[in-house]
């Protein structure tokens, strides 16, 4: 799965995880899955830091990428996200992060390309191993 942090880090050379994100995006035969909620969060973060045009360009690249698959969040998916949020009530899991937990369960994927320790607390193994933002 693809979380917000690696895309933001890749897009911003001054980010502390920029080099780690760039290196992992070069993994041969990389295939990433994410949700529209994460893509919205990516836009929001980058909009604040780099402006609308840069943020939209990143989102357009994600949407056109043959490496990234973006799942929409329908009513059933939304209900599962709220169940995960309740399940991990002691973890400060955001709605977008919970969407990745749900997607991982649906696709039987147990790893996430993320620097967010909240996803690790929700049972996902983070790659690269330098995670913990």
Low-confidence ranges of the chain (pLDDT < 70): 130-133
Boundaries of every domain in the chain: 4-127
Q: Determine how β-strand 32-35 pairs with β-strand 68-71.
A: parallel
Is residue 11 within 8 Å of 46, Cβ to Cβ?
yes
CATH of domain 4-127: 3.40.50.1010
Is residue 96 within 8 Å of 84, Cβ to Cβ?
no
Strand partners, 77: none
pLDDT score recorded for residue 36: 98
pLDDT score recorded for residue 116: 87
Question: Which of 30, 31, 56 minimizes the C-alpha distance to 42?
Answer: 56
Question: Which of 43, 49, 34 minimizes the C-alpha distance to 97?
Answer: 34
DSSP 124: P
pLDDT score recorded for residue 51: 97
Q: In 10 A of CB 74, how many CB atoms?
A: 8
pLDDT score recorded for residue 131: 47
Tell me if the bond preceding 128 is cis, omega within 30° of 0: yes
pLDDT score recorded for residue 128: 86
> Looking at the whole model, is its pTM more than 0.75?
yes
pLDDT score recorded for residue 130: 53
């Amino acid at each position: 799965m693809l979380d917000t942090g690696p895309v933001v880090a890749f897009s911003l050379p001054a980010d502390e995880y920029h080099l780690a994100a760039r290196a992992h995006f070069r993994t041969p035969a990389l295939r990433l899955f994410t949700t529209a909620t994460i893509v919205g969060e990516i836009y929001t973060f980058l909009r604040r830091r780099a402006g609308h045009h840069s943020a939209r360009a990143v989102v357009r690249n994600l949407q056109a990428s043959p490496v990234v698959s973006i799942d929409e969040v329908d009513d059933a998916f939304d209900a599962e996200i709220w169940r995960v949020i309740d399940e991990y009530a002691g973890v400060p899991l955001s709605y977008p992060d919970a969407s990745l937990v749900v997607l991982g369960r649906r696709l039987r994927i147990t790893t996430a390309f993320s620097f967010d320790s909240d996803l690790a607390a929700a049972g996902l193994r983070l790659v690269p191993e330098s995670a913990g933002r």
